[in-house]
Amino acid sequence: MSEKKKRETFSSGFAVFFATLGSAVGLGNIWKVPYLTGAKGGGAFLLIYVLCVALVGIPIMVCEFYIGRKSRKNAVGAFEELKAAKGWKSIGFIGVVSAFLIMFFYSCVAGWVYSYVFKAIKGDFVGVTSATSSAKFASTLVGPMPPLIWQFIVLIVVSIILIAGVKNGIERITKTLMPVLFILILICDITALTLPGASQGLKFLFHVDFSQINGSVILTALGLSFFKLSLGMGIMITYGSYFTQNNNMIATSVRVALSDSLVSILAGIAIFPAVFSFGMKPSEGAGLLFKTIPLVFSKMPFGNILLVAFFLLTAIAATTAMISNVQVPVAYFTEEKGMGKKTAVLLTTGIMMSIGILATLSADSSSVLGNIHILGQKGFFESFDYLSSNILLPVGGLLTAIFIGYFVKREDFKLELSNQGTLNNASIINVLYVFIKFITPILLIIVFLNSIGIIKL
């Protein structure tokens, strides 16, 4: 029996949606989108981000789904299976490297979330004020041992789930708990909207000041759209390889992108009214979530119980996103290097822990490595984020679009996306193909040239 036939798959289209959504929805929605929106000008940044998702994110996601399901291979082996020239494997290697870089800092932030579950259970946020909330977050970062221990715990949890497999691990976790997180965010929104000054937060989030839009905003929004949709890092190729043969890949990509964007906006609605109500600044940075959410729940009946539930579900969302990141190098090691699954998982998470220590110890200027800079004024934490989100992911996406648009037969692409002609979606595929071949690559090239200083937006 061939490797393709032996390969695990998700059990249904429903499971596919929640698994891919679980990859996209995570700390990025609840932590990263709000803090970057706050730092980059509010509604103007949010508008550019949504446009990047629509014009670049969805077309690239469809391409990655195609590569994964067509090949039934990992991010590197997929291109060999599709009989592409050897150079195209670089897309897969970019994905593997990006997955490592992201996990170096993402596992650190997930550790903060895990620690907040423990703090909430202890009742540390009962009677919290804006000053004590900020102090709690500051103590979470500095360490040095507590944040390292929580990062280690995070990676152990991810390892256990991945060793359990696709259906028993990834699928079961995501399709059960994602809807619960969504409901809890809605509860946060309702409470936040009742706070004094909530309208200022909504104005900041949704009012578009076009003077705030510049090259840095566009580049950050583009990188965020790739980061949020798990693009350019091999995840959607890997997950696509587990898709059922009758899955509508275009519909799945649109649903995931819309749902993911909705969760990000709802997270902003929960956070920014609290920012203005409690006299904080939108540009608080990476600690925005951790400083504001305890304050929101402090205004609710049974607030501490709900706060425990919120951070517990946020930890689960972070875990599902990390699972998809770690699965990329794990699939590479098992399929290309012949390792056993357990060995591949332990090797991958071991590397992530060893180098991720640098991110954890540099997350704040007062941390042990907080004053060491490797990319201009960026420390290890910021550098891992910048290299992955703003450089490698867009480059991987650009190469993916070029590969599909110019090196894959159009008829083969159309046949796979129509599920061998069983879906009546020819006109949608034709429009999508124009974006993949012309519009998306041009946008990516312009933004990338701006990022390296060749052109100025």
Question: What is the full DSSP assignment across 309-326?
Answer: HHHHHHHHHHHHHHHHHH
Position 263 in a domain: yes
Q: What is the pLDDT of residue 167?
A: 53
Position with higher pLDDT, 161 vs 266: 266
Q: Show the tokens assigned to 154.
A: 């995070």
In 25-144, alpha helices (H): 27, 33-39, 43-52, 58-71, 77-81, 89-122, 130-142
Q: What is the pLDDT of residue 174?
A: 58
Q: What is the pLDDT of residue 9?
A: 62
Position with higher pLDDT, 346 vs 454: 346
Phi (first) and psi of residue 383, to 5 degrees: -65, -45
DSSP state of 285: -
Question: Per residue in 77-99, pLDDT tens?
Answer: 999 899 888 899 999 999 999 99
Q: What is the pLDDT of residue 152?
A: 97
Position 162 in a domain: yes
Residue 53, pLDDT > 90, answer yes
What mean pLDDT do residues 419-423 have?
Answer: 96
Residue 279, pLDDT > 80, answer yes
What mean pLDDT do residues 249-260 have?
Answer: 90
Q: Which residue has the tokens 């990047």?
A: 52
Residue 169, pLDDT > 60, answer no
How many structural domains comprise the chain?
1
Position 136 in a domain: yes
Q: What is the pLDDT of residue 2?
A: 43
Residue 236, pLDDT > 50, answer yes
Residue 456, pLDDT > 60, answer yes
Q: What is the pLDDT of residue 455?
A: 75
Position 457 in a domain: no
Position with higher pLDDT, 455 vs 156: 156
Question: Per residue in 408-418, pLDDT tens?
Answer: 999 999 999 99
DSSP state of 393: H
CATH at residue 7: 1.10.4160
Query: CA 403 to CA 397: how far, in whole Å?
Result: 10
What mean pLDDT do residues 50-69 have?
Answer: 96
Q: What is the pLDDT of residue 15?
A: 59
What mean pLDDT do residues 120-144 have?
Answer: 91
CB contact at 8 A, 232 and 394: yes
Residue 165, pLDDT > 70, answer no
Position 35 in a domain: yes
Position with higher pLDDT, 149 vs 165: 149
Of all residues in the chain, the percent with pLDDT exceeding 90 is: 63
Query: CA 93 to CA 98: how far, in whole Å?
Result: 8
Q: What is the pLDDT of residue 256?
A: 86
Chain centroid offset of residue 373 CA: 25
Q: What is the pLDDT of residue 358?
A: 96
Least confident of 130-144, 245-259, 260-274, 439-453: 439-453
Query: CA 300 to CA 83: how far, in whole Å?
Result: 58
Nearest to 313 by CA among 14, 22, 16: 22
Q: What is the pLDDT of residue 3?
A: 44
Nearest to 232 by CA among 435, 397, 87, 388: 397
Domain range for 356 is 3-451
Position 456 in a domain: no
Mean pLDDT of the chain: 89
